[in-house]
Structure 1
Amino acid sequence: MLRIVQAWRRNSGDDLNQAYADAYAPMLDALDSAQQDIADYMADTTPDVMQSLGSRNLKSPEFTFNTSKLVGLAGNGQNTFDNLWGSVLMGKHAISQGYQTRTALAVVERDFALRSRTILADTARFSAMMTAKSHSFTAQYVRMLTPPSCGRCVTLAGMPSGRRPFERHPHCDCIAAWSDDEKALATHYANPEDYLNSLSDEELAKTLGSKANARAWKDGADVNQLVNAYRRKGDVRSAQMYGTKIKYTIEGTTKRGWAYSRMKQAGYVKEHVRYGSKYWRADRPRLMPETIYQLAGSDHAQAMRLLGDYGWL
């Protein structure tokens, strides 16, 4: 990725079309080389990894595959030239929105790095998958994290996906493990609790969204509830209420939501409000842990009660 970014920086100018025309050859050379290296590495090491994760009685490979066939392609089947061109289009869009060329170039550079990382992750994944298939692997795939990982991936760590690898969000670098041996997987970031416990306070806050969320998790909050609060853009909001500025989320507050049920039991929900064409939501906000700790102050028992009442525990 560094070589790709460096090639872009050497050739970038005000004309994004010309900049890409000047830079794409060395960029693709670097990307092709990295794809070939990682494809060969995964093909060579996957059998040993499978055994370390509890896969037993591996058969001799029934076929070999040409790893060079993965070079030049992104995970969606698009060629890498066109895939990287998408970064340039993002830069053009930034300019059309009134941003300076310098800002647009930074947007392109950042997206080049993200796309390259995703392409290489896909190359590694496909090479490992083909190697596993060549050994007649018949057990299930399990999601393993590649630290540092985002909250969405952490909540899914260790989740089985049968004989088909799991779906990923853009730029996800999780890998598919081939095992159902929980003891073996526990040492390879395939368990949310193990992974979160391995993080520093700063890393934990970044993964879960805030220092208050990290504190709530340590107090027993459900990691899925904390992460899902940010599931859709705009779900977490701020408002002036109860004589202070609060932070709240609308996640989980529909009539079938977990938070709605807990808030109703606590007597917070008085009536329902229409949301969209078919959903009804609670008429009271679901307070985020940040606001709960603020309101509770030094009263830990009160904080724990509120965390439960708002569906975080």
Structure 2
Amino acid sequence: MAYGQTLPTAARRQASDLRRRSNRLAVRLAAIWRRDASDDFGESYASCMPEMFRLLDSAQLQTAREAMTATPLAMASLDGVDRLPEYAVDPRQWVGVNGNGMNTIDVMWGAVVKGKRVVSSVGSTDIALHVIEMELVQRSRTLLADTQRSAAMVAGRSRYVHCGYVRGLTPPSCGRCVVLAGRPCGSEPFERHPNCDCIAIPTSKTPNTAVTSANEYLDGLSDGQLAKTLGSRANARAWRDGADLNQLVNAYRRSGSVSAAQLYGRNVKYTTEGMTKRGLASSRMISAGYAKDYVKKGGRYTKVDRPRLMPETIYDICARTGKDPRQMLYDYGWIL
């Protein structure tokens, strides 16, 4: 399913293939680690290496070859011009290295280093083994995504002197990716968060046909998928009630920006995003009376203890008081 994306067929197929390949690799690497795992992490890693890197090398080669094939098709679809490459590209050059040229053996060894840190911090061996397994999976996904982006970049530049990129989703995708899907991102492929498997699609001009409607993507999701994408069922309800997608997604932009606390004897969820670093209240919150715990200093309102409430808490308050949730969503800056 395209989930509202108007990206080229070749790009959507490539994204789907990459997701399936990444999932298969993750399952097999996790099984290999569980089979050979012991309290001697280094020895366990050495036992896994032959099979692990045979699978990883094969997946990288397939991904690079696929990017070499799909990229010119996607570019021709977006630009209307099918151009021959100015130089040959060997997909084998992406095997055994990550996006910045680091050897994949060293990249994956970093998972073992994290496991050792768990033990050194008085964590149990079982927890450390699980951490290593999760790290191996995440690092393999990142390696494949980096391989695709890098190979697509080279394939694109072999056909055009100047090349830009758009982000293509590989559904299911997180909210951070959804709000950026299909948008031009300059002359270098976009930055990614951990586990992001979006693909980079090169184009020689701004592709109007590649601008994705995030709302169309979200409209195609089930209630459960929508809640997972936006962070909670309350956030999904808020989006349906008119809340701005960027506001909902950016509430989780930094680790720990969404927190729980007690306010006047009630449990609330709040975010520090959408407020200034000095904790200034929005003029809406002040005029609506939600910011009476703010004091005015030097012509500006400074936060005392009243946070920006998350939709979950807003709906809870409205259910108990009979207030209009859409009005509160507006007053707290969720509806623009």
> TM-score, normalization: structure 2?
0.83
- Distance (whole Å) between structure 1 residues aligned to residue 208 and residue 81 of structure 2: 18
Contact 2:148–2:200 under 8 Å retained in 1: no
Bigger Cα displacement from structure 2, 262-271 vs 193-202: 262-271
- Distance (whole Å) between structure 1 residues aligned to residue 175 and residue 132 of structure 2: 26
- Superimposed CA distance per residue, residues 215-272 of structure 1 (whole angstroms, 9 cap, x where no aligned partner): 0001110111111111222221222224422111121222788962321232333435
- Distance (whole Å) between structure 1 residues aligned to residue 41 and residue 145 of structure 2: 27
Other-structure match for 1:231: 253
Other-structure match for 1:182: 208
Contact 1:118–1:173 under 8 Å retained in 2: yes
Other-structure match for 1:36: 61
SS at match of 1:156: coil
Map 1:260-299 to 2 at 5 A: 260-270=282-292, 271-272=294-295, 281=303, 283-297=305-319
- Distance (whole Å) between structure 1 residues aligned to residue 123 and residue 302 of structure 2: 40
Contact 1:255–1:282 under 8 Å retained in 2: no
Contact 2:314–2:329 under 8 Å retained in 1: yes
Counterpart among 173, 188, 192 of residue 149 in structure 1: 173
- Distance (whole Å) between structure 1 residues aligned to residue 272 and residue 120 of structure 2: 33
Structure-2 change in CA distance of 1:254 and 1:273 (3 Å): farther
Q: Does 1:85 align with 2:113?
A: no
TM superposition shift of 1:136: 1.1
Counterpart among 190, 193, 197 of residue 169 in structure 1: 193
Q: Does 1:246 align with 2:262?
A: no
Q: Does 1:104 align with 2:128?
A: yes
TM superposition shift of 1:19: 0.6
Work out the percentage of aligned pairs sharing the same amino acid: 50
SS at match of 1:234: coil
Counterpart among 205, 219, 230 of residue 208 in structure 1: 230
Counterpart among 132, 150, 153 of residue 129 in structure 1: 153
Other-structure match for 1:196: 218
- Distance (whole Å) between structure 2 residues aligned to residue 272 and residue 80 of structure 1: 54
SS at match of 1:246: strand
Other-structure match for 1:25: 50
TM superposition shift of 1:281: 4.0
> TM-score, normalization: structure 1?
0.89
- Superimposed CA distance per residue, residues 164-223 of structure 1 (whole angstroms, 9 cap, x where no aligned partner): 22111222211122353333x25xxx3321221121110111111110000000111011
- Distance (whole Å) between structure 1 residues aligned to residue 302 and residue 85 of structure 2: 55
TM superposition shift of 1:301: 6.8
Contact 1:91–1:104 under 8 Å retained in 2: yes
Which structure 2 residue ranges, 5 or more long, are not aligned? 1-24
Instruction: Name which structure has the greater RCO, CA cutoff 8 Å, separation 6+.
Output: 2
SS at match of 2:87: coil
- Distance (whole Å) between structure 1 residues aligned to residue 283 and residue 96 of structure 2: 51
- Distance (whole Å) between structure 2 residues aligned to residue 27 and residue 113 of structure 1: 11
Counterpart among 28, 33, 44 of residue 3 in structure 1: 28
Which structure 1 residue ranges, 5 or more long, are not aligned? none
Structure-2 change in CA distance of 1:79 and 1:283 (3 Å): same
TM superposition shift of 1:98: 2.6
- Distance (whole Å) between structure 2 residues aligned to residue 206 and residue 259 of structure 1: 29
- Distance (whole Å) between structure 1 residues aligned to residue 243 and residue 281 of structure 2: 13
- Distance (whole Å) between structure 2 residues aligned to residue 178 and residue 80 of structure 1: 25
- Superimposed CA distance per residue, residues 2-59 of structure 1 (whole angstroms, 9 cap, x where no aligned partner): 333333223211100111111112211111111111111211222122233x222232
TM superposition shift of 1:95: 1.7
Structure-2 change in CA distance of 1:68 and 1:258 (3 Å): farther
Other-structure match for 1:117: 141
Other-structure match for 2:74: 49
Bigger Cα displacement from structure 2, 152-161 vs 66-75: 152-161
Structure-2 change in CA distance of 1:259 and 1:137 (3 Å): farther
- Distance (whole Å) between structure 2 residues aligned to residue 96 and residue 229 of structure 1: 34
- Distance (whole Å) between structure 1 residues aligned to residue 131 and residue 52 of structure 2: 17
Contact 1:259–1:310 under 8 Å retained in 2: no
- Distance (whole Å) between structure 2 residues aligned to residue 86 and residue 100 of structure 1: 19
